[in-house]
């Protein structure tokens, strides 16, 4: 399948998706689990505290990505 055909198929699929949040939940949970393992590798923290720390680690990760993106755009100007 050509790249354009895959893109079309993906857009058609998303256009037919009633609950986008439900469709992406497994991926979001897996992504957050990465940060939970990062902040609590031994799994000793209470779940609420582990989740809170993981969310903070995820926000820091996203800010680092945004910073690198801004630096790359500035470099290309």
pLDDT, tens digit, for every residue of 8-25? Answer: 999 999 999 999 999 999
Q: Is 67 contained in some domain?
A: yes
Both tokens assigned to 11: 């857009």
Q: Is 7 contained in some domain?
A: no
pLDDT at 77: 79
Measured CA to CA, the distance from residue 37 to residue 70 in angstroms comes to 28
Q: Is 40 helix (H, G, I), strand (E, B) or coil?
A: coil
Q: How many domains is the chain partitioned into structurally?
A: 1
Query: Please, which pLDDT band fits residue 58 given cuts at 50, 70 and 90?
Result: very high
Q: Is 1 contained in some domain?
A: no
Q: What is the pTM of this model?
A: 0.78
- How many Å is the Cα radius of gyration of the chain? 18
Q: Is 47 contained in some domain?
A: yes
DSSP state of 7: H
**Could you list the residue range(s) of the whole structural domain that residue 33 is in?**
22-76
């Amino acid at each position: 399948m050509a790249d354009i055909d895959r893109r079309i198929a993906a857009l058609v699929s998303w256009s037919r998706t009633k609950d986008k949040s439900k469709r992406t939940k497994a991926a979001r949970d897996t992504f957050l689990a990465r940060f939970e393992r990062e902040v609590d590798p031994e799994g000793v923290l209470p779940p609420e505290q582990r989740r809170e720390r993981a969310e903070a680690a995820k926000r820091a990760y996203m800010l680092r990505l945004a910073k690198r993106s801004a630096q790359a755009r500035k470099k290309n100007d």
